[in-house]
Structure 1
Amino acid sequence: MHEYVLRKVRNKRGTLTKDPPRIGFNLSDYSNHNISGNKLVNLKYSEEPSDAVNLEYIKEEYKKLSNKISNELSEFNGDITTIIDKIKEENIIYFIKPEIDIIKLELEQYQKDINLTATNRYIDIDGSFQQMWKS
């Protein structure tokens, strides 16, 4: 098997051009080599991001990525389904009622604090209570 080396050379104007095409290669209008119907085969796995790869490599990587995404989605859907089923199975009031009771107790305590403060004629300044006038 022949190895074709594609090198860039400079012409008289100093611009880059390419070597004349080898067997099976043509030059395009922009002086790029093309492979008139020939295939690049037997490529090894890429070592650099810009390396060419073969179709098998692309298929393998696609399959790996596709399987990973599929697994992640099925786990996510399973978690969501479990949560929804749990909420449906149990009465929602058991989740909400304790929270409502806590809020009611806090509001009652705030109301007592406000009434006590108003009764003692205090005002909150900079986080410390100071007496406005003495009774």
Structure 2
Amino acid sequence: MKKFDIACLIDDDKMFTFLMSKQMRLIDFCDSILVFNDGDEALRYLKPIMHSPETLPSVILLDINMPVLDGWQFLDEFVKFDIPKKITVYIVSSSIDHADRIKAASYREVSNFYVKPITNANLVEMLNEIEV
């Protein structure tokens, strides 16, 4: 089965990241998981390795409502990077606001918007979008 090499979870909800990590391992979603509590923490990790494709995640699951640097602010900085490999970004949020979906669609880097809780079917759907 196809899977991502490195997945990145950016979410301030520690219970969500814990459960999501377990769920991802259970369905063999990826080889390794990076977890960050806010967008700033993720950017500080990603910036220095941006030109090392083998160390970059293949997929980012991004919450939009976080302290310090929220998902929108993260995306605004992330899109400025000259990224040497394709990184698929999924918004994973508790927001049901249609305006958030429209805003997410305005970023070409965002592949889809999922409302929490994330199911195994959602993760399999993400895996099925991997380009071979």
TM-score range, shorter chain: under 0.3
Q: TM-score, normalised by structure 1?
A: 0.16
Which structure carries more relative contact order (alpha carbon 8 Å, separation 6+)? 2
Q: TM-score, normalised by structure 2?
A: 0.17
Q: If each structure's strand is expressed as a fraction of its own residues, which one has the higher value? A: 2
Larger Rg: 1
